[in-house]
Structure 1
Amino acid sequence: MSLPKPLMRGLLGRRLRFHLPIAFTLSIMAAVVFKYTVTEPRKRAYAEFYKQYDAVKEFNAMKEAGIFESVRPSGE
């Protein structure tokens, strides 16, 4: 009794027909999950932060703290 020869001709095509749709489906699902679990909450957090952010007030606070070397505090 001998083992049957493996079917090598067209093996790549058969494997791709099976695995390619699975790979595309999983990658699209991963992208959708990433979008709604990471990017959307991050965009909402940035929007909430910049609703109340005052750049001039922040600059003046840093200027008074002496962070900038080229800007003098307003008291000098």
Structure 2
Amino acid sequence: MSSALLPKPQRRDLLASRLRKHIRVAFLFSVGCAAEYKFGVAEPRKRAYAQFYKTYDVMKEYEAMRKAGGFKSAPPN
């Protein structure tokens, strides 16, 4: 009577069946994390750098650092 109430435990391939499930879950989780990083961090960072360098003037920055005394070989004017 008690054997009809409880199912028999799986004795063979228990590890293999659990690993199949967990590998799928881990793969989906890692793909999700990679996509989240790409679209949440990397792409906004690329856009921010591109926007910064659109208006960045190297010579203006150099002159400001030179006047502030940032270079020892180029005396300030």
TM-score (norm 2): 0.79
What's the offset of the Cα at 1:69? 1.4
Identity of aligned residues (%): 49
Q: Aligned runs of 1:1-76 on 2, under 5 Å?
A: 7=11, 9-73=12-76, 75=77
Q: Distance in 2 between matches of 1:33 and 1:72?
A: 49
Q: What CA RMSD, in Å, does the superposition of the two structures yield over aligned residues? A: 1.8
Structure 2 alignment gaps of length 5 or more = 3-7
- How far off is 1:41 after superposition? 0.7
- Could you list the runs of 4 or more consecutive aligned residues of structure 1 that deviate by over 6 angstroms after TM superposition? none
- Structure 1, unmatched stretches of 5+, are none
TM-score of the two chains, using structure 1 as the length reference: 0.80
How many residues are paired up? 71
